[in-house]
Chain A
């Protein structure tokens, strides 16, 4: 199960990369990056998963003493949360950029914004 998730994650990353590199439309690129980000998140979670264990929530079913044997690693999940937040921020920023770029040139083609070069 974990391997499947991980494979899916990597597949999504690759799809994202492929999309970002082949689509010249800014919005499509941004979407591609979100796909890749999602893939990364899946990979992270998959890494933290341990077969046959429960969610890392200390409550009545899982006591603090037994936690080490009972729960899966909570760190990746924490990381995923952070990563999602950051990914959201970056995506928002990119969208804002895309908007500004479109405002300026009335196009979303990345190949049109090449005034700076060399």
Chain B
């Protein structure tokens, strides 16, 4: 069907509506919807034709003459897609605003049709004056549609918009006429053929006017008011459709200006992206925040438009991916905002009662943040690679910074939604739900399409991810059934794939799958449906197994993001975890961006369509150390190395009972896996003479020390374990950075041991916390007789962890000592030596203050933790015993595998004795000897002390008094006070303060920026003119 019908139907129906009887509102509304549906169908049919046939663009001539004597329109793949987007947005906006439109009558509908028609016109026309006319139509239509809102401030917002639009149109018109004067044509292609060289000033006016339609930062106060006050149904159009059309218009006229104008577009784009995101940070009004975010996204796409010279044939893929992710998500969010009664971000908490709406929000937020599997993810990947390849690293850095800020406020918002309280009820009607549902579907569909177009693996076809997403479909099922399925899925995956991997990867895979399955056993304690848990958890596990599976950088990064997102949702489920989950996701995404940059840099110097991880080994100076540094930093955000650790304690401590072991015992290993891969492939690197591996060694040692030191001062049992994880990861990092055979073996042993004992301890402490209702250790005490199995698990756990023979922790220490004998640097060992005994302190505190000492009155009747929580602990006890006796079962294979990389220093596993070049160790003999001595003495004691009587709790005397209150008798609070006096200076929260200061700085910057927007429309006009002058000066200075 001729594309002119897009214009004709819109315009014609609008006129027709004018002829209708004012009372026939239903008919008018039906006509409007029909017209919009028709227009969408026309766009869709064109799109199908272009996709199916691969045909080129079609020119449509009017007035029977060719340009420049008549206006022509062009319909191509891009135009078809964009008009489809615009028309569908219009259609769904009309559905969404049905009530208002019916109330206001046919005129409002006509204006909406005109607006959509004009937007299509902007996309289709190739005539610059025609473009001006359509823009003016948009201005008038917007002026009308803004008034649909019942917000009383919409009127002033509309007027401010009109003021600035006047300036814009005057500049545009002058530009056009002088352009015409210089070229003798109004046809854009005709002007482009001549070039803007002859009329630079006129072109500047055209350019700046169209840029102004994009609401560039900071000349955009008027637009923000519209976003805030207009009806959300229209704001969606204003954001998704108007923005897209204006971007396309800019792309068209840039053809006239040519590459000389790309830097200007880039500069405006990036300033807008970063600035608007910064200013969005302190926003509390949801729609204004969405407005800022819209502006920021537009800025990002403008940046991409400015970078088209390096993007080559990826240009449309990238710009389109970003544009559609933005348009669909933003429209969806605006529509969603109608379900929320109040305008504070925290009011969105009312949505949490509706899982489907939460899912919609998640979809939109993920799309905006560029997370897999949505189009923005693929686009971001290609964009970053292109920028790195062209060596535009500063721009790359700013883009990632802006994206991080954006993800920060979006996820903060999501945290409010999930965690805050709200009394409001969500009332949704079908017309309100349909557009949101359509946006969600469109989001996933676009994810699929972009995955398909990407030429890389389509994430929505990847089995583990599909399995995880499948849990969304069975959310109605009871938790135990889903739990069985989860365990089954993980085990099945392991059974299916274990032959494919080398011993090292296999160990990680076993921990990720079988380890996950064991922890899932504890999840049987949950009742009901436990909505949201399984999709999140399985998303994390899908990411984890995909990480092992990945051989190229894309797969690796996608897996990394998936596991990050999944674990974020998991962590957020904890009661008080809102701020911690936020800092987790921000740090993780920051780390992920570093990884992305590193891969992009690596790919830039060794170009290949897919960059194999193994190819990291082939990198040379000067890029290699930078890649190494970025990757190491990225991975260390996950292992919570000191300085990047502040997210961990809260995230792990506040998580649910079975989530804590997942995120601690399993998730942290993802970072270690990354470091393993990094060090195996890249080896030693040095930057400006600094040996980076040596730096890692220091960081590892410092992390081990400070993590342990902070752990001993915790009153909260789970926080203690969380800090202890930081320390343990420090050990593992240290072992890796030793870069010798035994160091790696030790790190691997930590991987296994830490999984086992930390999962076990988190479960047993979690069980205790569940029963006692508190995590503060000083409020517990004396639980040994009431919760004996939890006690045994804790006991075994702390013996193993402290490295005391005969349990498995000792093996780790023994390998550690042998490893450091070979090390080249010795000083960091000092820190490790110190942290070992400190670990002892917190372990003793853990077991003593919970299980020993005085039982509190309120706990006298509590029972052992639920069987489902105890069962995995007992499995872990068995595993620990097994590993303690026969470490060789696992380690000797890895030992042999490591020999490929570091042949020197392998252990000798003959017989039961494990021998290194310095010493030996026979776990079975140790166990037997210790057991014999112990039993002998125990027997002797039993013999001489056979009549021992059990006495009651307070049968003790001190200070000549017999105590009767457990609270005052249980020594638990401020357990290590002297240590605090002596060593407290080491655990001042410097790092927390540092990151706090960074956050404050960003917020302050945002707040300062907000003062620009004082609400006065005249001032906004000044902003615009000042913006014009600045851009002109910038262009002149180029």
Contacts and interface: CB of A to CB of B under 8 A. Distances in A.
User: Is there a contact between chains A and B in the complex with CB atoms less than 8 Å apart?
Assistant: yes
Interface of A: 13, 16-17, 20-21, 24, 26, 29, 33, 36-37, 40, 43-44, 47, 75-76, 79, 82-83, 86, 89-90, 93-94, 97-98, 100-101, 104, 110-111, 113-118
10 pairs of A and B residues whose beta carbons are closest in the complex: A114-B1015, A117-B1015, A113-B156, A116-B225, A118-B1010, A86-B136, A97-B159, A44-B177, A33-B166, A93-B143
B173 A83 contact: yes
B932 interface: no
B24 interface: no
B1015 A113 contact: yes
A112 to B, nearest CB: 9
A111 B283 CA distance: 23
B767 interface: no
B228 interface: yes
Contacts of B1011: 118
Interface of B: 129, 133, 136, 139-140, 143-144, 147, 152-153, 155-160, 162-163, 165-167, 169-170, 173-174, 176-178, 180-181, 186, 221, 224-225, 228-229, 283, 288, 1010-1011, 1013-1018, 1021-1022, 1025
B180 A90 contact: no
A26 to B, nearest CB: 7
Contacts of A104: 152, 155
Contacts of B229: 116
A90 B170 contact: no
Given A90-B139, A90-B140, A113-B159, A47 B170 contact: no
Contacts of A20: 163, 166-167, 1018, 1021
13 contacts: A21-B1021, A33-B163, A36-B170, A44-B173, A76-B180, A79-B129, A79-B177, A86-B136, A86-B140, A116-B229, A116-B1015, A117-B221, A118-B1013
A93 B162 contact: yes
A96 B288 CA distance: 26
A101 B153 CA distance: 10
Contacts of B1016: 110-111, 113-114
Contacts of A43: 174, 177
Nearest to B135: A86
A17 B180 CA distance: 24
Contacts of B173: 40, 44, 83
B143 A97 contact: yes
A47 B126 CA distance: 22
A15 to B, nearest CB: 12
B915 to A, nearest CB: 71
Nearest to B146: A97
Contacts of A83: 173
Contacts of A117: 221, 225, 1010, 1013-1015
Contacts of B288: 118
A32 to B, nearest CB: 9
> Main secondary structure on chain B at its contact with chain A?
helix
Contacts of A26: 159
Given A40-B173, A116-B153, A97 B162 contact: yes
A90 B178 contact: no
B1021 A101 contact: no
A98 B136 CA distance: 19
A93 B144 contact: yes
Contacts of B1014: 114, 117
Nearest to A44: B177
A114 B159 CA distance: 11
A115 B157 CA distance: 9
Nearest to B159: A97
> Which of B136, B224, B283, B1014 has the most A CB atoms < 10 Å from its CB?
B136
A116 B226 CA distance: 9
Given A43-B177, A86-B169, A93-B140, 7 more contacts: A20-B1018, A21-B1025, A24-B1018, A33-B166, A76-B177, A115-B1015, A116-B153
Contacts of B1021: 20-21
A82 to B, nearest CB: 6
A89 B1010 CA distance: 33
Nearest to B162: A94
A113 B154 CA distance: 11
A47 B177 contact: yes
Contact of A94 (B159, B181, B1025): B159
A44 B179 CA distance: 11
Contacts of A110: 159, 163, 1016-1018
A83 B129 CA distance: 10
Contacts of B155: 97, 100-101, 104
B125 to A, nearest CB: 14
Contacts of B178: 47
Contacts of A21: 1018, 1021-1022, 1025
Contacts of A94: 159, 162, 166
Given A43-B177, A76-B177, A13 B166 contact: no
A101 B1018 contact: no
A90 B166 contact: yes
Contacts of B181: 47
Nearest to B1007: A118
A15 B153 CA distance: 30
A47 B133 CA distance: 19
Contacts of A40: 170, 173-174
Contacts of A111: 1016, 1018
Contacts of A36: 166, 170
> Which of B170, B176, B178, B1016 has the most A CB atoms < 10 Å from its CB?
B170
Contacts of A33: 163, 166
A75 B162 contact: no
B177 A115 contact: no
Contacts of A118: 283, 288, 1010-1011, 1013, 1015
B156 A115 contact: yes
Nearest to B154: A116
Contact of B186 (A29, A75, A89): A75
Contacts of B224: 116
B332 to A, nearest CB: 24
A101 B143 CA distance: 13
A100 B155 CA distance: 7
Nearest to B1022: A21
Contacts of A113: 156, 159-160, 1015-1017
Contacts of B169: 86, 90
Contacts of B1022: 21
A90 B155 CA distance: 15
Contacts of B177: 43-44, 47, 76, 79
Nearest to B136: A86
Contact of A90 (B129, B133, B160, B165): B165
Contacts of B156: 101, 113-116
A54 to B, nearest CB: 20
Contacts of B186: 75
B157 A37 contact: no
A33 B170 CA distance: 9
A116 B157 contact: yes
A47 B177 CA distance: 7
A17 B1018 CA distance: 11
Nearest to B229: A116
A109 B480 CA distance: 66
B567 to A, nearest CB: 35
Nearest to A78: B129
Contacts of A44: 173, 177
Nearest to B69: A75
B162 A90 contact: yes
B159 A82 contact: no
> Which of B143, B162, B288 has the most A CB atoms < 10 Å from its CB?
B162
A98 B159 contact: yes
> Which of B158, B177, B225, B1016 has the most A CB atoms < 10 Å from its CB?
B177
A38 to B, nearest CB: 11
> Which of A33, A44, A86, A117 has the most B CB atoms < 10 Å from its CB?
A117
A48 to B, nearest CB: 8
A37 B1021 CA distance: 16
